[in-house]
Amino acid sequence: MRLNELSDNPGATSKRTRVGRGPGSGKGKTAGRGVKGQKSRSGVAIKGFEGGQMPLHMRLPKRGFTPHNQARYAELNIGKLQAAIEAKKIDAKKPLGEDELVKSGVVRRKRDGIRLLAKGTLKAKVNLTVTGATKAAVAAVEKAGGTVSLAEKPKAAPSDKKAD
């Protein structure tokens, strides 16, 4: 077998449809775009347009407020922590901080800190240091014989307002 004898399987490739190349091609004249109008031309952007009717996203009420400088925590359920201990990703005998949890792959990224949640069950005795934890999560860790200590919370971003 030589390089010039190599070829694709029959039917593996098909020719590109060349539009706008005469009536014999089947995609001539309007090139499959229909007749006239905005959509037949290039540069069309009619995402939420409803023919002049008020679009749905504008009819819905605007509610709530999301502060831009709010702290965002990475969430860690105690069930996931137990699964990581059983899979030998982390050593439960050593004290666990946020950096160890990220290095072991239990938490993807630290963000503004890690918050411990109570979903699942914990059997192993662990000593955790996290930014936040729910009361139920702390109770579950202490019931298993471990401890939860809270690290300092990150400070909010400075305000842009000037003092008068």
Domain boundaries, the chain: 74-150
Does pLDDT of 153 surpass 80?
no
Distance CA 136, CA 70 (A): 24
pLDDT reported for residue 156: 56
Element (H, E) at 85: helix 78-86
Strand intervals (E) in 5-143: 74-77, 114-117, 127-130, 132-133
Q: How many residues comprise the chain?
A: 164
Round to whole Å and give the CA distance between 109 and 163. Answer: 36
How does residue 163 score in pLDDT terms, banded at 50, 70 and 90?
low
Assign 5 to helix, strand or coil. Answer: helix
Give the integer Cα–Cα distance in Å for 135 and 113. 17
How high is the pLDDT of residue 124? 87
CATH C-level class of 74-150: alpha beta
Write down the pLDDT at residue 48: 84
The phi-psi region of residue 47 (left if phi > 0; otherwise alpha if psi is between -120 and 50; otherwise beta) is alpha
Contact 118, 35 (CB under 8 A): no
Q: Is the pTM of this model over 0.85?
A: no
Confidence check: pLDDT of 154 > 60 = no
Contact 121, 80 (CB under 8 A): no
> What pLDDT digit, counting tens, does each position of 78-123 carry?
999 999 999 988 888 888 888 998 999 999 998 889 999 999 898 8
